[in-house]
Amino acid sequence: MAWKISGQYVETCNCDFICPCILTQMTQTTHGECKFAMAYRVDQGNFDGVDLADTKFIVVGYTPGNMNEGNWEVGVIVDEAASAGQKEALTAIASGQAGGPIANLAPLMAKFHGVEVRPIKIEGGDGTWSVVVPGMIDQALEGARSMSGEVLHIDNAGHPVGDRLALARATHSHFNAFGVQYDETSGRNNGHFAPFNWSGN
């Protein structure tokens, strides 16, 4: 069952900027636990003959300690515009059941809270992104810029999304999904964005 998707990823988490998870191979967090919302806008894709272009999904998660210690709890939000076939395909990809990058994290996952179907809005460009799911997710971020004004990136990140991530500060993060509660408006917590290109069999 071959599949391939590509598009844009946008994430905020509760770690302070810069998130230590990537810098320490997931052995450290800022606050001793991790809460995150990884949003994906699929621009092009196909799953065993099902067209996935112009679909969206979000992986929401919580870890009670450092991420490498396991016991992850995750849930998936799929955009309400997805057809039944698209929802099934996106759930298989986002949960790791269909292989691909998220499947590599499966040994760390202790509980899957299922799927919610809600309207998802992902907007942005030029270093500024936002993600809204009414009543569940409201997050926005701005890319951290260098002295030249360009957005800073971290290479060889080893992140499931890819090896090159933009560094960003969240302007706000509000999570109320799958038991994950988080509200932050200080501007000090972490964010990332990047194009992604995934495939699996």
pLDDT tens for 135-184 read 999 999 999 999 999 999 999 999 999 999 999 999 999 999 999 999 99
The string of DSSP letters for 68-119 reads GG--EEEEEEEETTS-HHHHHHHHHHHHTTT-SGGGGGGGGEEEEEEEEEE-
pLDDT tens for 13-62 read 999 999 999 999 999 999 999 999 999 999 999 999 999 999 999 999 99
- Torsion of the alpha carbons at 104, 165, 61 and 77, rounded to the nearest 10: -100
Taking the C-alpha atoms of residue 58 and residue 105, their distance in angstroms, rounded to an integer, is: 16
Smallest Cα–Cα separation from 33: which of 2, 78, 75, 63?
Answer: 63
